[in-house]
Structures are given as C-alpha cells and as structure tokens.
C-alpha cells in the first residue's frame, strides 16, 4: 500500500517537505491528545529537577537539531537532482533496447569465423578457444604471442547503438579492447573515424594518433568488478564523443566495429540503444 507513495517521495524533494509538515502536525496533535491522560505537567516548574540540568537540555537540543540538519542536507541533494528524477516520474523510459548480442548463443557469434584477423606478424594468427568458465559459462579465450587485430563488424541494426556493454577479462597486460565509431559534424557534412582504446581507470582521454580523417583515443572506463576476475565495461558512446572531440561540433554517427588485441577472454558483448 505504501510502495507508490514511498517511490513518489524519493523522486520529489518538495513532497518530502509536505510529508514532514504533515507528520510534524500529527505528532504535535497526538502529544496534546495524550498529555492530560499521561499526567504531563502544564509548566516547567512542575517537571523533575534533572530536566532542568544543562546536560539534559543539551541532549534534548541535540535530538531536535540533528534530524533537521539531516533533512536540510537531504532536501539540498534532492533539489539539485529533482529535474532528472522527475523525468522518471513522468514516465520517461530508462530501459535499454538490445540491438545485438555477441556471444555463445544459438549463432555462436563469438566464434573465430565471425572475426576478421589482420595486422598479424609473420603470419602468426591468434588462437581462438572456447572454454567453460566456472563463473560465466561458455566463453571465448584469445591468445597470441605476436601482434594481431581481430575485428567484429556489428550488424546494421546494431550500428545505431549508443551503449556497448562488455563482459571481459584481460589474461595479461597485452589484452586490449577497442571500439570504432563514425563521428559526424552537426551539419552532417563531415565525418571522421574514431577508435576508442579502452583502459581501466579514471584518467582523462588522451589522443594516441590522428591522421586528419581518423583518430585513436585512449579512453578510460571505470568497470564493475565481477566474480572470477571478470569486468563489466559500459561504454556510453555519446559521452565518449563529447569527452574526446567535444560536444560543440561533433555527434555520434554509427557504431562500426569491435577490435581485440593481445591475450584476453570474452563472455559477451551487448549493444544497446
């Protein structure tokens, strides 16, 4: 019965004020209702002597002031965020729409045949192996002793995605994941290829190379740490474009491909809009 009101109060800072005032008035009336039956004195002179001590008064003031400070801080936080929270209340859907999932499903899209291998040294191709992981089930393990690039071109419908979710694990320091997108000028007249070299951490983006038509940026992600040393990476492509190229002149065009390098394992890659 109280589920909807509690959610409403969580999303509306001013609703908390109304609830507080109603509760305050209710408690005040209850105190007066039970004051006479309980024999509460009408004046302070009739109260026990310990209630007039400085320690007792300090304790009473502490109990009265502390929750009000907490209330003010809570209201300040709610006031700063009420616009975004109010959008949820108005029914704006926050659910992600899955466009493509790259994993060991019925089509085995993580299999070696789905990846285009290039940039190999001495024709030494990486080894793709399917293993059963105790935490993630059937996963892909890629290993190589030489440089390589394994590219997965996303499906046409997934190219419209703006969020990439990866469950992966670097098996040593060579393991790297990349995401390639197409960036457009706001008028759509100019396009550029952008590679995001994903890193773990909170470092600011840094430009790796730029040839005028294409860019590679080192882009840090704060992952969610899962059991079995697996990491969950969420890459917001709109934010990545804004963080690297700026949000004044460039927009996300299309997601193009995922690239693997080094020794790593993948459970799945999901692309959402």
pLDDT at 87: 41
Q: Which is nearest to 123 in space by CA: 153, 144, 140, 142?
A: 144
Q: How confident is the model at residue 29 (pLDDT cuts 50, 70, 90)?
A: low
Cα three-residue angle 233-114-221, rounded to 5 degrees: 15
C-alpha 173/C-alpha 199 separation (Å) is 11
pLDDT at 34 over 70: no
Answer yes or no: pTM beyond 0.75: no
Residue 163 pLDDT? 96
Q: Which helix (H) or strand (E) holds 36?
A: none
| pLDDT value of position 37 | 61
CB 221 within 8 A of CB 232: no
Which H/E stretch holds residue 74? helix 54-89
pLDDT of residue 94: 56
How far apart are alpha carbons 99 and 110 in whole angstroms? 16
Residues 6+ apart with CB under 8 A from 110: 102, 103, 104, 130, 139, 140, 266, 268
Average pLDDT of span 177-199: 92
pLDDT tens-digit map of 70-84? 777 776 766 655 444
**∠ at Cα 60 (56, 66), nearest 5°?**
140
Read off the tokens for 61: 């003031």
Q: What is the pLDDT of residues 87-129, one digit of tens each?
A: 433 443 457 899 999 987 646 667 777 899 988 877 778 899 9
Give the pLDDT mean for 178-199.
92
CA distance linking residue 60 with residue 78, whole number of Å: 28
Residue with token string 């004051």: 35
Q: What is the mean pLDDT of residues 16-23?
A: 70
Quote the percentage of the chain above a pLDDT of 70. 69
Q: Which residues have a Cβ under 8 Å from the Cβ of 135 and sit 6 or more positions away?
A: 226, 227, 228, 230
| CA angle, 129 then 135 then 136, to 5° | 55
Which tokens belong to 182? Answer: 């197409």
Contact present, 233 and 139 (Cβ < 8 Å):
no
Does 57 have pLDDT greater than 60?
Answer: yes
| DSSP codes, 81-123 | HHHHHHHHHTT------EEEEEESSTT-TTSGGGSEEES-STT
Q: Which two tokens stand for residue 260?
A: 């693997």
Q: How many CA atoms lie within 13 A of 178 on its CB side?
A: 25
């Amino acid at each position: 019965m109280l589920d909807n009101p509690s959610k409403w109060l969580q999303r509306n800072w001013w609703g908390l004020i109304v609830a507080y005032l109603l509760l305050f008035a209710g408690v005040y009336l209850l105190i007066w209702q039970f004051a006479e039956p309980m024999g509460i004195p009408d004046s302070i002179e009739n109260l026990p002597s310990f209630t007039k001590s400085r320690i007792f008064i300090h304790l009473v003031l502490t109990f009265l002031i502390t929750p009000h400070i907490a209330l003010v801080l809570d209201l300040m936080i709610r006031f700063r965020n009420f616009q975004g929270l109010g959008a949820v209340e108005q029914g704006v859907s926050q659910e992600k729409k899955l466009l493509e999932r790259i994993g060991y499903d019925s089509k085995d899209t993580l299999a070696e045949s789905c990846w285009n291998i290039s940039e190999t040294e001495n024709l030494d191709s990486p080894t793709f192996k399917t293993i059963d992981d105790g935490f993630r089930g059937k996963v892909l393990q890629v290993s190589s002793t030489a440089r390589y690039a394994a590219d997965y071109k996303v499906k046409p419908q997934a190219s419209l995605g703006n969020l990439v979710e990866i469950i992966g694990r670097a098996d040593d320091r060579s393991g790297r994941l990349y995401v390639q997108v197409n960036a457009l000028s706001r008028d759509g007249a100019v396009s550029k290829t952008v590679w995001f070299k994903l890193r773990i951490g909170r470092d600011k983006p840094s430009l790796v190379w730029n040839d005028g038509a294409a860019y590679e940026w080192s882009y840090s992600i704060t992952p969610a740490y899962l059991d079995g040393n697996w990491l969950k990476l969420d890459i917001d492509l709109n934010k990545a474009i804004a963080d690297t190229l700026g949000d004044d002149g460039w927009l996300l065009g299309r997601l193009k491909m995922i690239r693997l390098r080094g020794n790593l394992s993948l459970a799945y890659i999901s692309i959402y809009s």
